[in-house]
Amino acid sequence: MVVQGVEPGTTLLQFLRSKGKTGSKLCCEEGGCGACTVQLSRWDKEKQILVHKGVNACISPFHVVDGHNVVTVEGIGNVESLHPIQEEIALNHGSQCGFCTPGIVMALHSYLAANPNATKHDIEHSMDGNLCRCTGYRPILDAAKQFGKESEDCAGGARRSCGGRTPDFPEFLKDFESQPIEINGKSSSWYRPTSLKHLLELKDKYPQGKIVVGSTEVSIEMKFKNYDYPVLMNPLAIPQMTAIKTEKDGISVGAAASLTSVVDYFKNEMKRRPDWQTRTLHALVDQIRWFAGPQIKNVACIGGNIATASPISDINPVLIAMGAKLTVNSIKYGERQLRLTQELFPSYRKLALQPEEVIVSVFVPFSSELEYVRAYKQSRRREDDIAIVSAAFRVSLEKREHNYIIKDACLSYGGMDAVTKEARKTSQYLLGKPWNNETLLKVNQYLADDLPLAPDAVGGMVAYRKTLSTSFWHKFSLFVSQSLGQPVPDRVDKMDVIPERSLSRGIQTHYPEHSPTPVGSSMPHVSALKQVTGEAIYIDDMPANDTHYGHFVMSTKANAKIVKVNPEKALKMEGVVAFISAKDIPGHNEIGFVYKGEELFASSQVHGVGFPIGLIVATSHRLAEKAALAVEVEYAVEPHILTIREAIQKSSFFQTFSPPLIERGQNPEAVFPKCEHVLEGEMEIGGQEHFYLEPHTSHVVPGED
């Protein structure tokens, strides 16, 4: 297919849905739910094999798929001819509302295409990038595990026809050669250089141009932070940027190589080398394991993780601790090598490179025999979550008589400052000391100096984060001591062991097992086949011919009077149709059904951030979003109450109803004075919104009445 006229910044999902391929669903738009998963396949000329991967189409730039075969849920089967994966999920009750189901089907399909000998355990972990709010996952996993190589139905020669079947790859794509691309759109340009020289020339010409690989950060910035990137450059056609090769003292990883390819390569090296030599590889593989779901790891790259300079990065502390080196290049400054240290991150989200410089590769050194490296991470959930604190440690020892002396050490942390932080006072203290309890017990004192956190530090949980910083070191010290054969207390000898998630299992029993009527029978619901094939139609799948799009202009202040609203800039934008506010509503502007006084559009006062002030109407959704931000609102800010604690202090309570009480037994006010001990305390629970999916929407067609 030859496609023309697609604007830079367009995602693969936007393109697919514009062409009627609505099986891939639009949901989170940040690569978090997997409902948009599609399969990309390409021919690897060097290895002479097909390479398959599942990706999140909602963040994948459309122009990246040049030379790939894109397989959507519609392409593997339909209700008349189901793919085995679709059939198993339907028969095992793996869909309810069905909105996430096409993405789950394609996540499993792409994984099995890439890993035809996957075990049940492998398959279960491959589903980490998909969310489902209805089923509880058990029926989905029951269906998916039918395709594990242990299953009788998928044994031997039947394996390919079972779960790994994929549409035929177009023969002409085997001859595809990447060519330089330049696409100039209305607001941005897209470049695909095919040589490092070309990329450096582009970076020299456009120093502020953004290099995009997986777009796992850029797409989110453009969507949710409203960033504009006039120049986008994609380096995936440059061999040096994606190559991974073993050298004498370590492994050179192209900055644009995907995390999945890095892990696969490292695991192969770990199999053929002694364990002591690959401790650095182990540390990085272990940390990437918790990084994200497969769809993200299939496109995210190690260079992007460095360049985003996140203070809670999972990977940067590991690279710093192991002593990794960067190769950067530019026309203006030439090629140079840098060791990764905290100086590379001078301030929040900033990188100490010149705007013209490009990260070309990262060198990961092998470890020596008495060198120990380990990485740690604590988050709210183990998989696919940002870190509260991450850390990586390295110590290099030498044997002197009966002691092991520390000749080098590096302790690196994420989540303990606005940048990735090294505990340098601690490292300096350790140098030349023997590895024993006396030395190790003093480390916490130095860590407290290295990692101070103010009581009001961004991210909160100050005491917890400080505790994590020391407990991670304690785990590491136990790991090293055990590796050296030194005794450790029995109660903590397993402290450093990362628990493996065992294969899930569950049982659902239906009574009676064989019912002559639908009541009591185990029957797939009537929509299941359409849901697993992407043929079920949801609101956003319906054609929107001659339809305009609206986007709210919302308050940015918590409590304020509206002084002035000026939509002129927005109305001058091509494609913007109208701005509607309170003064444009005929009749009542009030929408409160129970408690009167709540307005649809604020007429003079806003009562919270996000309160609707008006509505921009435009010819496209994206344009409406952008135009809404162009509406200028002038406020007179008034005092506000943002927390329960503030409300209690200021006696700000709802007076319209009696507070709900749960009473049982005697009156506590009468009982407490008689108690020998009365324990008092308080607990704070933050708000938790569920994960919104598209079935929350409705479609309204105005009629004559």
Amino acid present at 57: A
Which part of the chain has CATH 3.90.1170.50?
547-641
Identify the pLDDT of residue 659. Answer: 65
Decide: 379 and 388 in contact? Cβ < 8 Å: yes
Distance CA 282, CA 355 (A): 33
User: C-alpha distances in angstroms, 638 versus 220, 555, 606, 608, 635?
Assistant: 33, 13, 10, 11, 9
3-state secondary structure 40-68: EEEEECCCCEEEEEEEECCCCEHHHHCCC
Amino acid present at 305: N
Strand, helix or coil for residue 9: coil
Amino acid present at 458: V
Amino acid present at 4: Q
Strand, helix or coil for residue 373: strand
Percentage of the chain exceeding pLDDT 90: 70
The angle, 0 to 180 degrees and rounded to 10, between the axes of the packed helices 84-91 and 101-114 is 130
Task: Give the pLDDT band of residue 186 (cuts 50, 70, 90).
Answer: confident
Per-residue pLDDT at 160 exceeds 70: no
Distance CA 560, CA 557 (A): 6
Identify the pLDDT of residue 65. Answer: 94
Identify the pLDDT of residue 105. Answer: 97
Q: Which of 215-219, 322-326, 381-385, 446-450 has the lowest mean pLDDT?
A: 381-385
Tokens of 487: 């005794």
Q: Give the model confidence (pLDDT) of 646-669 as tens digits.
A: 998 998 887 766 666 777 888 888
Distance CA 595, CA 606 (A): 17
CATH of 547-641, one of 3.20.20.210, 1.10.10.10, 3.90.1170.50, 3.40.190.10: 3.90.1170.50
Distance CA 170, CA 42 (A): 10
Task: Give the pLDDT band of residue 321 (cuts 50, 70, 90).
Answer: very high
Q: Quick count: other Cβ atoms within 10 Å of Cβ 584?
A: 12
Mean confidence (pLDDT) of the chain? 90
Q: Please, what is the Cα angle at 376 between 249 and 30, to 5 degrees?
A: 100
Tokens of 57: 């189409």
Strand, helix or coil for residue 405: strand
CATH number of 181-233: 3.30.43.10
Task: Give the pLDDT band of residue 4 (cuts 50, 70, 90).
Answer: confident
Identify the pLDDT of residue 156. Answer: 42
Average pLDDT over residues 469-474: 94
Task: Give the pLDDT band of residue 240 (cuts 50, 70, 90).
Answer: very high
Q: How many CA atoms lie within 13 A of 148 on its CB side?
A: 17
Percentage of the chain exceeding pLDDT 70: 94
Give the distance, in angstroms, between the CA of residue 276 and the centroid of all CA atoms in the same chain: 32
Q: Give the model confidence (pLDDT) of 506-535 as tens digits.
A: 877 766 666 677 777 777 888 999 999 999
Average pLDDT over residues 20-48: 93
Q: Give the model confidence (pLDDT) of 559-594 as tens digits.
A: 999 999 999 999 999 999 999 999 999 988 988 777
Tokens of 2: 């030859």
Distance CA 165, CA 156 (A): 14
CATH of 239-492, one of 2.60.130.10, 3.30.1310.10, 3.10.129.10, 3.30.465.10: 3.30.465.10
Decide: 276 and 110 in contact? Cβ < 8 Å: no
Decide: 13 and 23 in contact? Cβ < 8 Å: no
Average pLDDT over residues 485-512: 72
Per-residue pLDDT at 158 exceeds 60: no
Contacts of 321 (CB under 8 A, 6+ apart): 283, 373, 375, 392, 393, 394, 410, 411, 412
User: What letter would DSSP give residue 94?
Assistant: -
Distance CA 705, CA 697 (A): 22
Domain covering 12-175, topology? DNA polymerase; domain 1 (1.10.150)
Per-residue pLDDT at 157 exceeds 70: no
Identify the pLDDT of residue 658. Answer: 67
Decide: 529 and 90 in contact? Cβ < 8 Å: yes
> What global pTM score does this model have?
0.89
Which part of the chain has CATH 1.10.150.120?
12-175
Distance CA 284, CA 260 (A): 12
User: C-alpha distances in angstroms, 633 versus 123, 191, 587, 598, 611?
Assistant: 51, 37, 24, 20, 13
Q: Give the model confidence (pLDDT) of 256-278 as tens digits.
A: 999 999 999 999 999 999 999 99
Which part of the chain has CATH 3.30.465.10?
239-492
